[in-house]
Amino acid sequence: MLKLENVSVRYGATEAVKNVSMEVKEGEFVTLIGANGAGKSTTLRAISGLEPVREGRILFEGEPIHNAAPQDIIRLGIAHCPEGRRVFPQLTVRENLEMGAFCRYDRQSVSADIEQKLEMFPRLAERERQAAGTLSGGEQQMLAIARSLMSRPRLVMFDEPSLGLAPNFVEQVFKLVSSICASGTTVLMVEQNAYAALDLCDRSYLLSTGEVMLSGTAEEMLNNPDVRRIYLGGEAATA
């Protein structure tokens, strides 16, 4: 469904993503793991058309998208739930959901989708006329996730959706992302917590200083001695 072929992205002299090749197949739950600064967010931003691809190609359903504008990439069916939640704080919960559908022309189904999201997230329904900035961090993350689904994506990308959340919300967010995948939307999720990511996903790519160091099924990654030593805190973490 999504294919990156030898993709490189630069910020001035910094090569943030180097020669990255990866693939996400329809229906899969794939994670992108690695330390802070490894290039995970930059990879997602390149897929979304938010950073120019310096070298290589990005294909969605076989068509090149690496020169496409972000709004066209959304229309093709790729949604991006960015790092740090980024809801519009002055807008209400409902208006934030409307913004998620800005690229759609079917206004009637958009209204129906908003009602469906509010049913799915009762906490948001209770606060639908409240400014998003007044919500708790966990509620804002729920809203950001709900908003990303408003474009009716076939592939949705989540950038560290659990970051900075209270433990009960972390669990809720992971359950939610799993259920989104189970209901038929393909998922690519960035996560710094390798253990949590590998516990949830089908396959994973490990990025280190902009390069793919390792990839495989969640089980292969969990059993890899290097992954265990460096990212899972030794043998005990896999117990």
- When asked if residue 36 is in the footprint of ligand ADP (CB under 6 A), the reply is yes
- When asked if residue 20 is in the footprint of ligand ADP (CB under 6 A), the reply is no
Q: Determine how many CB atoms are found less than 10 A away from the CB of residue 89.
A: 13
Q: Are strands 203-208 and 29-33 parallel, antiparallel or unpaired?
A: parallel
- When asked if residue 108 is in the footprint of ligand ADP (CB under 6 A), the reply is no
Q: How far is the CB of 158 from Mg ion (least distance, A)?
A: 11
Pick from 25, 26, 37, 238 the residue near ligand ADP by CB under 6 A.
37
Write out the binding residues for ligand ADP, residues 193-222 only, by CB under 6 A.
Answer: none
- When asked if residue 11 is in the footprint of ligand ADP (CB under 6 A), the reply is yes
Residues in binding contact with ligand ADP, number by CB under 6 A: 11
**Residue 76 corresponds to which tokens in the numbers above?**
């093709």
Could you tell me which stretch among 39-47, 65-73, 87-95, 101-109 binds ligand ADP (CB under 6 A)?
39-47
Pick from 2, 29, 39, 41 the residue near Mg ion by CB under 5 A.
41
List Cα–Cα distances, 83 to 49, 50, 80, 235, in angstroms. 16, 13, 9, 30
H helical segments located in the chain: 40-47, 70-76, 93-99, 107-120, 122-126, 137-149, 167-182, 194-200, 218-222, 225-230
Q: Are 53 and 20 in contact (CB under 8 A)?
A: no
Could you tell me which stretch among 34-42, 65-73, 109-117, 217-225 binds ligand ADP (CB under 6 A)?
34-42
Write out the binding residues for ligand ADP, residues 84-103 only, by CB under 6 A.
Answer: none
- When asked if residue 117 is in the footprint of ligand ADP (CB under 6 A), the reply is no
Q: How far is the CB of 74 from ligand ADP (least distance, A)?
A: 20
The residue type at 173: V
* C-alpha–C-alpha distance, residues 43 and 8, integer Å: 9
Q: How far is the CB of 115 from Mg ion (least distance, A)?
A: 33
107 CB burial (10 A radius; 0-12, 13-18, 19+): exposed
- When asked if residue 185 is in the footprint of Mg ion (CB under 5 A), the reply is no
* C-alpha–C-alpha distance, residues 22 and 188, integer Å: 11
11 binds, among ligand ADP, Mg ion, none (CB under 5 to 8 A by kind): ligand ADP
39 binds, among Mg ion, ligand ADP, none (CB under 5 to 8 A by kind): ligand ADP
- When asked if residue 31 is in the footprint of Mg ion (CB under 5 A), the reply is no
Q: Which is nearer to Mg ion, 118 or 190 (CB)?
A: 190
* C-alpha–C-alpha distance, residues 119 and 142, integer Å: 13
| CA neighbours closer than 13 Å in the CB half-sphere of residue 127 | 19
The residues of the shown chain that bind ligand ADP, judged by CB under 6 A, are: 11, 14, 16, 34, 36-42
The residues of the shown chain that bind Mg ion, judged by CB under 5 A, are: 40-41, 83
